[in-house]
Chains A and B, each alone.
Chain A
Amino acid sequence: MATKPTFRQEISNLLYASHGDPFSNCIQCGTCSGTCPVAEFMDEPPRRLIGMINANMKEEVLDCNTYWFCASCYHCTVRCPSNIDIASVMYAVKRYSIWHKTYSDELVGPVFSETFMKTVAHNGKSYEPILATTYLFGFGAKEFFQEVQGATRMMLKGRIPVLPSKIKHLKNFQKMIKRIVPIGEET
């Protein structure tokens, strides 16, 4: 029967089943790191992260900010000569971190994703003023007021709705979510 998976296999298991274990295809060419618009803010660039997953360096991978900083632009995925879906790998590591609760409490990413999902499940679409509260208080006073000022101006011009709007046929949409993740009371 199946042997106990390594960290690398655990991450592979979080990808599309058809992608199998793509990490051995990595030739460490660095195209992903070179093309990544946020690489300079990452602890480890994408190329190194894949190398670390390949080497089963579980703690080092989970401790770095690389996958939380990924902007999901998919540039790395498009340009990878080995056809590795690197953006999906970033999502897989995020899932691992959330499901195993390995992230630190002050990290914005997980709370942001949670709030985003909550508002989408509730209204059928996202609502910026609620999303902003997940990161706004981490700003300095100057940036905070700049952000509030900008948001107020956009609200006055009607670019941000004052109250969250809901999509049409919201009930059907919520039923669809419950079909995918069947949780909560039976309908």
Chain B
Amino acid sequence: MANTKLLIIDDDPDYVDGIKSILEKAKYQVDAAYNPKDGIEALKSGNYDLLLLDIMMGRGAEGVMVARKINKDPKLREMPVLIITGIREQMAFLFPGQPAHPRLLPTDELLEKPVDPDLLLEKVDSLLKEAAGKKEEGA
């Protein structure tokens, strides 16, 4: 697990500190980018096994744009993405009563803030296993 590299793209430094410490305790190697632009650059330069992505960043739902960019890139598309968002609290007034649906974007999984640490680790673990399985199938 020490060689598993994760990237968090989230603009809330306190939140990043929180999830980072949970993941580092579980022996993952975690990097963070605090805005979508740095995030995309980090994704292109580093070799990450999984991305944890926030949605409400920058001038609005810029996380959506990041996810769309990833889905367009043939190399990055292989990487599992876990969306962690408070979008319902921040934007649900647009469509009252409707939850953020689990396939908000053509990404892999979605967790809503605040996140339960055990659930977070469980999702990260299952996504990594799934991705490893897919790689083996492909090889």
Contacts and interface: CB of A to CB of B under 8 A. Distances in A.
A186 B31 CA distance: 33
B101 A186 contact: yes
B115 interface: no
A105 B106 CA distance: 36
A14 B11 contact: yes
B71 interface: no
A58 B96 CA distance: 31
Interface residues of A, number: 29
Interface stretch (B35-43, B74-82, B116-124): B35-43
B26 interface: no
A184 B101 contact: yes
Contacts of B57: 13
B95 A121 contact: yes
B61 interface: yes
Given A13-B34, A117-B94, A185 B101 contact: yes
Interface in B54-74: 56-61, 64
Contact of A99 (B17, B88, B90): B90
Nearest to A18: B37
A184 B95 contact: yes
A17 B35 contact: yes
Contacts of A100: 12
Contacts of B42: 1-2
A180 B98 contact: no
A14 B58 contact: yes
Interface in A140-186: 177-178, 180-186
